[in-house]
Structure 1
Amino acid sequence: MTRALVVYESMFGNTRAIAEAIGEALAAEVVEVSQAPDVLPDDVGLLVVGAPTHAFGLSRPATRKSAADQATGELVSPGRGVREWLDTLVPLGHHVTAHAFDTRIQAGWLPGSAAKTIAKRLRALHFTVPARPMSFHVGGTPGPLLVGEPARAAAWARSTLVGHQA
């Protein structure tokens, strides 16, 4: 029996809320990136990875510092980000299907996406990435999530990801 794992990076809690909605819909383990394994267990058959979009892409130490400077409370992911985790992730010894998501500001057309970068990096690590990355929207840099986005994330998980768990 394979299981699903959701790994997320979140600064203000918005991406964490989306990851938790996805995890609940999939009955998956949800872990913050600093706690994510550098070697995926053999029983993981579905990996879902998410992060906030920073400066039109996947966060870097400098963009995380900028986010920390804007924070009014404690950061959810104060350590390594998804970029660094994917850099240390050991290549797979078994087949794993993976999906990527991000949170981003919904303000007309904006270039860049953390999810697209995550998907590209997952493919380079030989994960099967069968679907387009998904974005969920926040009202501004610190959030909040737009109304209905956690429910949309759960629906995405149920409709797109459940079939890829086996």
Structure 2
Amino acid sequence: MRSRVVYESMFGNTAAVAEAIAEGLREFGTVELINVSAAANVPAPTVDLLVVGGPTHAFGLSRRKTRLDAAARTEAAVAVDIGIREWLDAALGVPEGRRAAAFGTKVAKPPWLPGSAAQATGKRLRRIGYELADEPVDFLVDGMTGPLVAGEQARARAWAERLAHTEYDRLAHHC
């Protein structure tokens, strides 16, 4: 099975989740792990499963302004011109039957805080024609800049292993 994980990360938390997801997917095939800032330069995915995720900013996917705000809070290089929102908005429709999954990171507290990059990503993936392989999943961060809540990387890897197993079985029965 061929998979591609495209992610956006400001403080390294979503990148860590994306890496854990890629590890879980590798149990069943090959995986490309691509930061969204480079994804526009990579050919459209001809993969069995596309997994896309980013951080929750202002109750949804980041925008240029929220990325600029985040960049001011870190010493790390942060791509501010493109995020998951823009990348998916520029994507062409996909043939029927293409599968994808969505994930995101969001602050753990307060737990009632609305909004989810995962949910917004899932909606955009469906809008361009993907069938979701699972419900969008949020992974929790301690505060705005992190770190990830204990156990979230393991949960991300386990989620990806389950996704990969399900998709691998689905592909095996359709061939």
Note whether the superposition's TM-score is higher than 0.5.
yes
Match of 2:128 in 1: 125
The 2-side partners of 1:9 and 1:52 are apart by 7
Match of 2:15 in 1: 16
Match of 1:41 in 2: 45
Indicate the RMSD between aligned Cα atoms, in angstroms: 1.6
Q: Kindly state the Cα deviation for residue 41 of structure 1 after the two structures are TM-superposed.
A: 3.4
Match of 2:82 in 1: 80
The one of 156, 160, 174 equivalent to 1:157 is 160
- Dislocated runs of 4+, deviation >2 Å: 37-42, 75-79
Give the share of equivalent positions with the same residue, in percent.
Answer: 48
TM-score, normalising length: structure 2: 0.87
Matching residue's letter, 1:135: D
The one of 30, 34, 40 equivalent to 2:33 is 30
The 2-side partners of 1:81 and 1:65 are apart by 11
Structure 1 unaligned segments of length 5 or more: list them.
none
Q: Kindly state the Cα deviation for residue 70 of structure 1 after the two structures are TM-superposed.
A: 1.4
Secondary structure in structure 1 of the residue aligned to 2:132: coil
Structure 2 residue 53 is the aligned partner of structure 1 residue 50: yes
The 5 Å alignment of 1:105-144 reads 105-107=107-109, 108-144=111-147
The 2-side partners of 1:20 and 1:76 are apart by 18
Report the number of matched residues: 163
Match of 2:63 in 1: 60
Secondary structure in structure 2 of the residue aligned to 1:160: helix
